[in-house]
A and B are shown apart, each in its own frame.
Chain A
Amino acid sequence: MNAELATLVAILGTVMTAATPLLFAALGEVVTEKSGVLNLGVEGMMLAGAVVGFVVAASTGSSTLGVIAAAGAGVAISLVFGALTLGLFANQVATGLALTLFGVGLSALVGRSFVGFALAPLPRLDIPGLSDLPVVGPLLFANDALTYLALAMVAVVHYFLFHTRAGLVLRAVGESHDAAHAVGYPVIRIRLCEVMFGGAMAGLGGVYLSLVYTPMWVENMTAGRGWIALALVMFATWRPLNVLVGAYLFGGVTIIQLYAQGLGIAVPSQFMSMLPYLATIFVLVLISRDKVRIRLNAPACIGKTFNPAA
């Protein structure tokens, strides 16, 4: 492999790692939103997963336990959201914001005594034979377990949503919860399950940061990724395959500006740092213009409170 190709592969590899936490969080949120629930608390759930995963891994010495605990933490904290919005009919936007705030603060508190801990990152899992393929090998087949999981989840979520009966029911609930209720589907229970799934995925996205990306715990280490994941869901018009594309796009833009600096491009670094955010807006506008597409794919009942007694 010549030098330029090697550099390109290296860059793509870096983009992959940058995209993975976004992928986890966005996939979870797609499922949640498809069932009609808008959960803005992704940032808080990711941090909950990050801190719990790190604490458990550091205390027990097992990263596997850490990952499982992280998913569990995401579920637990999403239950608070679920109880408030689905059980007590609280406003979803406000509750989501409160969840973010709470998650940020609680994770900082829990992780207080673990700041400064060093952990070995999750090991790379090479697939024998495939890892040695040129270009594709190191990129696709020499990653850690969580990266593989994220890629696998894209396929799983896609299949579930669009090729299973359960997925169809879920989408129906998101399109019209009153109709689904009339037919007899347990709307609230379905939504709660999806909220929990979203929580678990966000937790995995968070633990990826604290166990793979930068193996340590730092307050607020998600640094806005939860919000970018939310934008990603819209950008992908709630379709898992598009989420994959979007995650890599966003990961790429974030990394590119750092490369550009290293290449000596003479734009002030602050303007380069603005690129990911401006790109998000740009992409959002592009997608939102197509009202038909949005209406086709956006769950019609998103954000609306469902009360069976009403």
Chain B
Amino acid sequence: MNRRHFLLAGAGATAMLGAGALARRAFAAEPLKIGFVYVGPVGDHGWTYRHDVGRRAVEQALGSRVETSFVESVKEGPDAERVIRQMASSGHGLIVATSFGFMNATLKVARQFPNVKFCHATGYKRAPNVSTYMARFYEGRYVAGKVAGKLTKSGIVGYIGSFPIPEVVRGVNAFTLALKTERPDAQVKVVWVNSWYDPGREADAAKSLVDQGADIMMQHTDSPAPLQVAENRGIWGVGQASDMRKFAPKAQITAIVDNWNGYYTDQARAVLDGSWKSTDTWRGFDADMTQMAPYGDRVPADVVALGKKIEEAIRSGKLHPFAGPAKDRDGKLRIPSGSHASDGELLGMDWFVEGVQGSLPS
């Protein structure tokens, strides 16, 4: 047959197949398509990795009722907007944006797709179809501080920070406040590496801190490099976002683990049964959004017991990590005794407590 016939036949066949597929679809309930937008690679073994664990948990919990997909290493900015819009216009009913820098992009797209639901991590702007969520990581930092206070000999703690944003500053402060209850003379040295994920630089920073006498390594960056250095140099360290024990079997005291499984599953369920609302979720130990990894084998039993006791106290609400009194480095009283910092104060925290050495933008 000549070309025209061939083309017509092909078109006809395609149409029939398409119709058949559509027909089949109409009978089965469409699974909810959930799209995840990651700022880093899934293999970072930190922040993004834990979000992906959450994604897989949703798949496992809800099976054939959901269909998930993800795009990794999406740069904040115009690219993010395009990716989110792509997801919104390709039938995704729920989109999860896992980085602060996606905020404006998410809101822009959300305005144009009012029927799609969005969850934005660590942001502060909401809309009728945009929720925000974050975990109270600082609760874990407080526990780490207590434990570190008991374990440190030199009284110097190295803290590798990514960027001087409130989330990181909160973590440093919570850690230091706890540290000083056990070791009032202890000092926390903060080094900024200006990146969330740069193993080479994190390793350099860690080495420089150890060389200056630190015997505990804390980090608010995403790679296991600082812990590797801790392992190599024979000091203690605390993992970030996920259990990093396989990188530092001897050195890791514990890790502050992000757990998004429950949150994501709840959100997906809410979309499925139509009860989804725009909310702001900021939970910690009490909802298991923050968890402490199992303590390392070399950690003494009494230290482990203390850690667990503090964790329980925070979980039950008896202990607030930011309970006053707390002074900043200029001696000004920021949290009066008898009260604790409000969520608003925590969200915008831009000052360090006494005992922290590190620069902050003015």
**Contact surface of A with B, Cβ cutoff 8 Å:** 7, 10-11, 14, 17-18, 112, 115-116, 118, 121, 209, 213-216, 218-219, 221, 223, 254-255, 258-259, 261-264, 266-270, 273
Contact = CB atoms under 8 A, between A and B. Distances in A.
Interface string B32-45: 00000000011111
Contacts of B209: 262
B44 A214 contact: no
A14 B201 CA distance: 12
B247 interface: yes
A115 B158 contact: no
A223 B200 contact: yes
Interface stretch (B78-86, B255-263, B353-361): B353-361
Given A116-B49, A269-B359, A259 B208 contact: yes
A2 to B, nearest CB: 14
B339 interface: no
B45 A262 contact: no
A116 B359 contact: no
Given A263-B212, A268-B359, A116 B200 contact: no
B291 interface: no
Contacts of A209: 200
A118 B224 contact: yes
Given A254-B204, A270-B194, A11 B211 contact: yes
Nearest to B191: A261
Contacts of B98: none
Nearest to A113: B43
A115 B44 contact: yes
Interface string B176-202: 000000000000011111100111111
Contacts of A259: 208, 211-212
Interface string B150-191: 000000001000001000000000000000000000000111
B224 A216 contact: yes
Contacts of B361: 268
Interface residues of B, number: 41
A107 B75 CA distance: 20
B205 interface: yes
Contacts of B189: 262, 264
A261 B209 CA distance: 9
Contacts of A214: 199-200, 202-203, 223, 225, 228
Given A11-B211, A215-B228, A112 B43 contact: yes
Nearest to A225: B200
A118 B246 contact: yes
26 contacts: A10-B210, A10-B211, A11-B211, A14-B208, A112-B43, A116-B45, A213-B200, A214-B203, A214-B223, A214-B228, A216-B223, A216-B224, A216-B225, A218-B44, A218-B199, A221-B199, A258-B204, A258-B208, A259-B212, A261-B192, A262-B209, A263-B212, A264-B358, A266-B359, A269-B164, A269-B359
Nearest to A218: B199
Contact of A262 (B43, B158, B246): B158
B232 interface: yes
Nearest to B156: A262
A262 B212 contact: yes
B283 interface: no
A84 B203 CA distance: 37
Contacts of B340: none
A18 B225 CA distance: 14
B192 to A, nearest CB: 4
B207 interface: yes
Contacts of B247: 118, 216
Contacts of A115: 41-45
B42 to A, nearest CB: 8
Nearest to B46: A116
Nearest to A271: B359
A223 B361 CA distance: 25
Contacts of A116: 43-45, 49
A266 B357 CA distance: 10
A276 B149 CA distance: 35
Contacts of A18: 204
Nearest to A224: B200
B149 to A, nearest CB: 20
Most chain B beta-carbon neighbours within 10 Å: one of A115, A116, A262, A267:
A262
Top 8 closest A-B pairs, CB basis?
A115-B43, A269-B192, A10-B211, A258-B208, A214-B199, A261-B191, A214-B225, A14-B207
A223 B198 CA distance: 8
Contacts of A216: 199, 223-225, 228, 247
Contacts of A14: 204, 207-208, 211
Contacts of A219: 41
Contact of B232 (A121, A223, A269): A121
Contacts of B158: 262
Contacts of B202: 214
A270 B192 CA distance: 8
B263 to A, nearest CB: 23
Given A115-B41, A223-B201, A273 B359 contact: no
Contacts of A269: 164, 191-192, 194, 359
Given A261-B191, A269-B194, A7 B211 contact: yes
B192 A255 contact: no
Nearest to B198: A223
Contacts of B211: 7, 10-11, 14, 259
Interface in B222-236: 223-225, 228, 232
A112 B203 CA distance: 22
B250 to A, nearest CB: 12
Given A214-B202, A219-B41, A223-B200, 5 more contacts: A10-B210, A116-B44, A262-B158, A262-B208, A270-B194
